[in-house]
């Protein structure tokens, strides 16, 4: 029988005599071990004490790109074209668990593994072999994505709207899903840029891979580089000992969604351009080139072309991102979709709260259809959610809407780009009002940005951007 001994995170096993049960000697039939070995997705190599391969499982042969039968009884150093790190274990007789290794193979480039090594000893305590288990870190990232929710949540089915201009945007996005080209989503705040990005990723051939979101507006400038590119161990004070895989590595095999790309500082734009062109980069403090396979979807509520003219955005990066440009129309450009969206959200929130779905009378629907919706679909969704939570009536009338729409008018279209055409004085007044509303909301919500953004009917991203624009800090 094999007994596993775990001590100090170093794993060893000792081979002992089979258990005697009565007069019978019981042992596990050989086929069991083979089936177990082959059902594991990590690579496993069983080595004797001199480093000769006793067996390798199917996953191991696939990961190393070798033939299983060919490799049996060969020395482990013949299996790969770099120095196998397991040789150190054979020498030191010290195993380990889940250690990260970055190895360089002349034929396959940089290989990033998580490995464990288990030393096997006989009854006398002498090492008789080693079990070497390993997995590629790329697969670890997609596993992390599976377990941490770095997955797309919406598909095209969740996108509501019949307006021809809007359907054109959906149609273009479906075409984008079928290709690997970079996508630039443009639209005012709350028009659905993020939901489109989810859907494009989910319907693409990378749909099962990670969907990693980076909000360029909410990342402090000092952290953008390490967040995107990661760092090697000990590259700066406060860096994690084992290093850190940045968003580019995390998104390998999937999609990187760069939200609020217009807020990316110019020097980072240059670095980003290089990764987009070559799909290679190095971690901070590292020297190895890392190659990634990902698609970039960027989103902005600014007019990027205008930012290019003003010198705030690199022209070359703009053209790289702009391979497929999709403009999502604002809600006031598609008023016919308003009743549709109202019904959709009434149903969604009534079902969530276990309430009957109310109807909306004609006059109320007219009012909703003529309102300008500066916060677009997000604002409308917010209003409907409040109606469901606060109202008990089976039919919603104009009077139920007034308090909300009037308050919203006073808030003067937070998140709206409509204000751009207002005369200067009016604009200043609106900005002052907006600032005031943001301060108030942050104070009511005890500086919690998520809660405050909900209260204001704008996204967290927009609120961060506005806070930056008006120099409102978290503890103002
Ligand atoms: N066409 C749509 N159908 C259903 N829900 C939508 C639609 N468009 C937007 N929404 C909903 O509206 C809300 C805001 O959408 P989203 O976050 O995608 O907007 P955004 O354009 O990214 O806004 P911001 O620029 O402020 O980040 C989300 O809850 C989203 O699910
Ligand atoms: Mg967004």
pLDDT digits 0-9 by tens, 46-89:
999 999 999 999 999 988 888 888 999 999 999 988 889 999 99
CA distance 442 to 448: 6
Rounded alpha-carbon distances, angstroms, from residue 152 to 198, 203, 328 = 5, 10, 19
Topology at the third CATH level for domain 149-327: Rossmann fold (3.40.50)
Give the pLDDT confidence score for residue 20 in this predicted structure: 45
Q: Which residues contact 251 (CB under 8 A, 6 or more apart)?
A: 141, 209, 210, 211, 212, 292, 294
The reply to whether ligand 1 has any atom less than 6 angstroms from the CB of 194 is: yes
pLDDT tens-digit map of 108-118: 777 778 889 99
Average pLDDT (317-335) is 94
**What superfamily does domain 2-136 belong to in CATH?**
PAS domain (3.30.450.20)
Atom of ligand 1 nearest to the CA of 195: 18
Does the beta carbon of 260 sit less than 6 angstroms from any atom of ligand 1? Answer: no
Whether the CB of 245 sits within 6 Å of ligand 1 = no
Distance CA 78, CA 69 (A): 13
* pLDDT of 142 strictly over 90: no
Give the domain ranges of the chain.
Answer: 2-136, 149-327, 424-476
Tokens read off for 461: 């991203």
From the number of C-beta atoms within 10 Å of its C-beta (0-12, 13-18, 19+), residue 4 rates as exposed
Give the closest ligand to the alpha carbon of residue 375: 1
Q: CA dihedral defined by 8, 9, 12, 17, rounded to 10 degrees?
A: 80
| Whether pLDDT at 133 is above 80 | yes
Whether the pLDDT of residue 460 is over 90: the answer is no
Q: What percent of the chain has pLDDT over 90?
A: 41
Encoding tokens for residue 276?
Answer: 């987009």
Residue 152 and residue 199 in contact, taking contact as beta carbons nearer than 8 Å:
yes
Ligand 1: residue whose CA is nearest its atom 9: 192
Question: Both tokens of residue 474?
Answer: 């978290």
pLDDT band at 465, cuts 50/70/90?
A: confident
Confidence band for 453, pLDDT divided at 50, 70 and 90? confident
Cα gap 304→302, rounded to integer Å? 6
Q: What is the pLDDT of residue 347?
A: 94
Q: What is the pLDDT of residue 240?
A: 55
What number is the average pLDDT over the span 209-221?
A: 85
Q: What ranges in 204-337 are assigned the alpha helix state H?
A: 221-229, 247-250, 266-278, 304-310, 315-321
DSSP 101-139: EEEEETTTEEEEEEEEEEEEE-TTS-EEEEEEEEEEHHH
* pLDDT per position as a tens digit, 364-409: 999 999 888 989 999 999 999 989 988 788 899 988 888 777 655 5
Is 3's pLDDT higher than 70? no
> What are the phi and psi torsion angles at 28 (to 5°)?
-75, 130
- Which ligand lies nearest the alpha carbon of 194? 1
Beta strand 2-7 with 43-48: parallel, antiparallel or unpaired? unpaired
Q: What is the CATH number of domain 424-476?
A: 1.10.10
Per-residue model confidence as pLDDT tens digits over 336-357:
999 999 999 999 999 988 889 9
Alpha-carbon gap, residue 46 to 55, rounded angstroms: 5
pLDDT digits (tens, 9 = 90+) for 144-168: 555 555 788 899 999 999 999 999 9
């Amino acid at each position: 029988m094999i007994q596993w001994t775990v001590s100090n995170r170093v794993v060893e096993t000792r081979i002992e005599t089979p258990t005697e049960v009565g007069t019978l000697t019981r042992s596990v039939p050989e086929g069991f071990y083979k089936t177990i070995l082959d059902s594991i997705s990590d690579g496993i190599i069983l080595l004797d004490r001199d480093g000769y391969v006793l067996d390798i499982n199917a996953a191991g042969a696939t990961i190393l790109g070798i033939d299983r039968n060919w490799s049996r009884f060969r020395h482990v150093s013949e299996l790969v074209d770099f120095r196998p790190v397991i040789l150190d274990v054979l020498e030191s007789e010290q195993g380990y668990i889940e250690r990260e290794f970055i190895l360089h193979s002349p034929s396959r480039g940089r290989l990033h593994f998580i490995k464990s090594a288990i030393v096997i000893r006989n009854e006398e305590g002498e090492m008789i072999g080693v079990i070497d288990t390993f997995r590629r870190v790329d697969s670890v990232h997609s596993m992390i994505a599976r377990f941490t929710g770095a997955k797309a949540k919406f598909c095209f089915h969740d996108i509501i709207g019949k307006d021809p201009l809007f359907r054109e945007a959906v149609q273009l996005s479906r075409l984008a899903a079928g290709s690997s080209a970079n996508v630039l989503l443009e639209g005012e705040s709350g028009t659905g840029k993020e939901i489109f990005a989810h859907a494009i990723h989910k319907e693409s051939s990378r749909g099962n891979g990670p969907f990693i979101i980076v909000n360029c507006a909410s990342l402090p400038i000092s952290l953008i580089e390490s967040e995107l590119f990661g760092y090697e161990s000990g590259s700066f004070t406060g860096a994690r000992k084992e290093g850190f895989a940045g968003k580019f590595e995390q998104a390998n095999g999937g999609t990187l969604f760069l939200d609020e790309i217009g807020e990316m500082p110019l020097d980072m734009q240059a670095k980003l351009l290089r990764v987009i062109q070559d799909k290679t980069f190095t971690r901070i403090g590292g020297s190895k080139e890392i190659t990634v396979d990902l698609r970039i979807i960027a989103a902005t509520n600014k007019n990027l072309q205008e930012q290019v003219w003003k010198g705030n955005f690199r022209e070359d990066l703009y053209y790289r991102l702009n391979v497929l440009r999709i403009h999502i129309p604002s809600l006031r450009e598609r008023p016919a979709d308003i009743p549709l969206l109202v019904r959709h959200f009434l149903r969604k929130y009534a079902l969530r709260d276990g309430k009957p779905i109310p109807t909306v009378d004609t006059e109320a629907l007219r009012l909703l259809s003529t309102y300008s919706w500066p916060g677009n679909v997000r604002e409308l969704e917010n209003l409907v959610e409040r109606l469901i939570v606060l109202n008990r009536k089976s039919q919603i009338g104009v009077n139920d809407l007034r308090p909300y729409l009037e308050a919203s008018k006073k808030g003067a279209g937070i998140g709206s780009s409509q204000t751009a055409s207002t005369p200067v004085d009016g604009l200043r007044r609106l900005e002052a009002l907006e600032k005031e509303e943001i301060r108030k909301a942050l104070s009511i919500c005890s500086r919690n940005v998520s809660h405050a953004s909900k209260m204001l009917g704008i996204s967290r991203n927009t609120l961060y951007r506005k806070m930056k624009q008006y120099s409102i800090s978290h503890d103002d």
